[in-house]
Structure 1
């Protein structure tokens, strides 16, 4: 791979996905893209770059982008964001939404589905409290391939052993050979859509909770600021934003303020609340 090829791919990936690569990530590109090169019968990365430059190469561009984006995920990842969900967010929203009985949740980097399904399992355990409520979970991701896996709800033994309590595995999954299939009931609680966070996502409507974890770390500062400010406009004035352990809004935007002693958890600032539009209730799936 020549320096010119690397520079082209860096610019291509930033424009397509927001992924920012430093000057020393050639090995990463080669390891992720050489399988595509071989499958397409190309001679090397240079050939791949040449084909990406040809008009009408959208299918190849999509494969390259999906191969380069990180889709690491596991059930109840980092634990703390799910403790926040159980202990603070849902109790507060059950009181605040008592008259409307609707809650909308967005997982903005859903990957293969472990995060939204973790939330769905918690909600299922709260079925008695949520009787008659309409709770909608939307999972989005740039990669249609990983979302197809999420929709199927089929996981390996290794995947279900990463963070999933044994009692939840036995309660919500069925074993099929060396794979585990999540129950249709849990699967039906999550709706998936392909979405690039670099594009307009206002059509999703407003949410009470947004999980946007471990995706901003791959963006440069202007992109982080843009995504956070646009997310703020979709969040209810008393809603919640969850970021990853290595992410923060500090120094990026004043649209959110941190919640004391709740790592990674934010709520809209007074400035955002003052200009926020009224929450629009959309139809979703019932928990019970």
Structure 2
């Protein structure tokens, strides 16, 4: 790939999605965009980039979606889900006892494994949540990946990645060569097409935010922008989950680490840090 073409594509991706690519990632552009070039009927990347330079907005969107990392799997890393069930959920039930409602946001929800994992946890706690109104919102900038999430259909490989066997048997059924998640679980998650670089305020307030393994693709100013915008959506006792390689330290003052809870952060304006106790 020509240096000027790499610079053009990388700037487009930065502007449209926040994704930052270093020059050693040119192979990634080629591997992700060649299938798109063939689909569009171009002879190669040169033709695709030539069309892109003509400000083809539909192509810009397709390229942005093709380059956005979409890997996800059920109960990824397990700890954030165990911690939610054992520590955060009991605190929410206590703190929201009067209004009996709370909302969870899964940013960059990809093909839906993260929000559905949370939905299964909440379904397993149905007795404690009787009479409660709980919303799970999953967002992503890719329309195609959200279609997959809404379908609730997963391959054998996908359900084998992190899914406990008892939950697979309980909440999935075989459909041809795929596994289909229970309609009740699917109904617990609302998916919306949303770019994290856009105004987040229309999404409303969230008590818990999962923004895991997303910030690692952004530069520091973009990380700060996204985290500050997320904090503005959360109450004083809101809780944020980040990926294992991510942190708020040196990036924003809107959140602070919760002692003993790795990867879990409290809204800085609140005093809920002590209430979550020791590591579960």
Which runs of at least 4 in structure 1 moved beyond 6 Å after TM superposition? none
Query: Counterpart in 2 of 1:259?
Result: 258
Question: The residue matched to 1:73 in structure 2 has which SS?
Answer: coil
For 1:104-163, what per-residue CA distance to the aligned partner results, in whole angstroms no more than 9, with x for missing partners? 000001000000000000000000000000000000001111000000000000000000
Shift of 1:52: 1.3
Deviations 1:90-115 (A, max 9, x none): 00000000000001000001000000
* Correspondence for 1:171: 170
Equivalenced residues, count: 271
SS at match of 2:59: helix
For 1:76 and 1:255, the matched residues in 2 are separated by 27
**Partners of 1:132 and 1:41 in 2: CA distance:** 54
> Is residue 5–residue 45 contact of structure 1 (8 Å, CA) maintained in 2?
no
CA RMSD of aligned residues (A): 1.0
Residue 238 of structure 1 aligns to a residue in which SS?
coil
Partner Cα distance (2:144, 2:46) in 1: 25
Q: Partner of 1:234 in structure 2? A: 233
Residue 48 of structure 2 corresponds to: 48
TM-score relative to the length of structure 2: 0.95
Specify the alignment match of 2:95 in structure 1. Answer: 96
Other structure's SS at 1:263 match: strand
SS in 1 for 2:23: coil
Shift, 1:65, TM fit: 0.6
Shifted more, 133-142 versus 174-183: the winner is 174-183
Cα distance, 1:48 vs. partner? 1.3
Q: Structure 2 matches for 1:19-38, cutoff 5 A?
A: 19-38=19-38
Task: State the distance in 2 between where 1:178 and 1:35 align.
Answer: 24
CA distance in structure 2 between the partners assigned to 1:95 and 1:3 by the alignment: 56
2:195 is the counterpart of 1:196: yes
Tell which has more relative contact order, 1 or 2 (C-alpha 8 A, sep 6+): 1
**Superposition deviation, residue 43 in structure 1:** 2.5
User: Which residue matches 2:218?
Assistant: 219
**Following TM superposition, by how much is the alpha carbon of 1:67 offset from its aligned partner in structure 2, in angstroms?**
0.6
Return the offset for 1:17.
0.6
Return 5+ residue gaps in structure 1 as ranges: 275-288
Distance 2:52 2:57 in 1: 8
Query: How far has the Cα of 1:177 moved from its partner?
Result: 2.3
- Whether 1:9 aligns to 2:14 is no
